[in-house]
């Protein structure tokens, strides 16, 4: 007779944030909180998409915040509790499902099934907990600089369906009828995080990209506005490019954004803080709704 199997139910959470090069240089006091340090040392990265990580209890590897579900709570409630206890982060934005991860080999000690969630947090909230309990830190997922270097080494980004440090998808050569193929860090020279957490970040990033798949307001989907009340159109374009892992032609992006159906509106202000001609500033038609789903 086959013995009953009672797996542990794990909860893992992928928390993204975005920060400018200036933010990282002035607000991160300990470079060991940024990984890989070589990506931030002496390189021009522009805007960066990052994921929160913490020290592992059982190894030197970094891992995502996680824990186990108690018998008396729902899975979504457990995810919020994990964030509060592991990170001291009480998010007001929606936690969205990534999927279920049930590889029998993910944990050597006991059969474990993980329910994974993702969200994006404001960098102002994230920076307050960096270096805290379990050495909370940031791992680079993507940046303007990373995409530029990737293109120099691998050719045009147009043949890829988004690129990031945690993997990419591309169309096989001479096979337009085949589905896009993916590549993860383990297949590209080495893992970044412990357990199967590279996969969790990759699939969470693929979910994040959905926020920019249409002309709908991505900020209401994410629940935050990391660009501030007024922003340049170029800032919005860079934010979209870094999150999607794709470059967009400037004139095409401008045409898509400046129309009567757009989720942004031009203000009466101009920004002259950077070299060159002063730029028009834009604002959101409506602020993000922090539903806390």
Out of 3.90.79.10, 1.10.10.10, 3.40.50.150, 3.30.590.20, select the CATH number for domain 8-284. 3.90.79.10
Q: What's the chain's average pLDDT?
A: 87
**pLDDT for the residue 223:** 92
In terms of Cα–Cα distance, which of 190, 210, 203, 241 is closest to 35? 190
pLDDT band at 292 (very low <50, low <70, confident <90, very high): low
Paired tokens of 292? 């806390």
Q: What is the pLDDT of residues 61-85, one digit of tens each?
A: 899 999 888 888 898 888 999 888 8
pLDDT at residue 94 tops 90: no
- In this prediction the pTM is 0.91
Q: Which residue has the tokens 């080494």?
A: 153
Burial class of residue 110, CB neighbours in 10 A (0-12, 13-18, 19+): exposed
Across 39-43, 219-223, 260-264, least confident range: 39-43
pLDDT at residue 57 tops 90: no
pLDDT at residue 1 tops 50: no
Q: How many CB atoms lie within 10 A of CB 191?
A: 16
Label the pairing between strands 167-170 and 62-63.
Answer: unpaired
Distance (Å, rounded) from C-alpha 109 to C-alpha 35?
Answer: 28
In sign, the C-alpha dihedral spanning 221, 224, 226, 227 is: positive
pLDDT at residue 4 tops 70: no
pLDDT band at 225 (very low <50, low <70, confident <90, very high): very high
In terms of Cα–Cα distance, which of 133, 130, 206, 114 is closest to 167? 206
**pLDDT for the residue 31:** 82
């Amino acid at each position: 007779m086959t013995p009953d199997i009672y797996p542990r139910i794990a909860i893992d959470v992928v928390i993204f944030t975005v920060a400018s090069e200036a933010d990282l240089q002035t607000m991160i006091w300990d470079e060991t909180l940024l990984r890989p340090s070589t990506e931030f040392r002496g390189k021009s990265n522009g805007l960066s998409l990052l994921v929160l990580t913490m020290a592992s209890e059982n190894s030197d590897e970094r891992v995502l915040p996680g824990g186990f579900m108690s018998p008396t709570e729902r899975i979504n409630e457990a995810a919020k509790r994990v964030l509060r206890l592991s990170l001291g982060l009480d998010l007001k934005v929606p936690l969205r499902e990534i999927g279920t991860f049930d590889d029998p080999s993910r944990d050597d000690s006991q059969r474990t099934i993980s329910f994974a969630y993702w969200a994006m947090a404001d960098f102002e909230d994230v920076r307050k907990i960096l270096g805290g309990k379990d050495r909370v830190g940031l791992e680079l997922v993507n940046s303007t600089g990373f995409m530029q270097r990737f293109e120099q080494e691998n050719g045009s980004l147009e043949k890829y369906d988004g690129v990031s440090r945690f993997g990419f998808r591309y169309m096989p050569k001479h096979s337009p009828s085949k589905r896009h193929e993916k590549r993860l860090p383990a297949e590209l020279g080495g893992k970044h995080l412990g357990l199967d957490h590279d996969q969790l970040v990759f699939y969470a990033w693929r979910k994040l990209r959905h926020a920019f798949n249409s002309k709908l307001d991505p900020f209401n989907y994410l629940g935050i506005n990391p660009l501030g009340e007024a922003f340049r159109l170029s800032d919005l374009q860079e934010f979209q490019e870094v999150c999607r892992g794709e470059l967009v032609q400037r004139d095409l992006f401008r045409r898509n954004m400046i129309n009567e159906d757009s989720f942004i509106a031009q203000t009466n202000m101009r920004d002259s803080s950077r070299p060159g001609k002063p730029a028009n500033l834009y604002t959101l038609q409506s602020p993000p709704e922090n539903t806390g789903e």
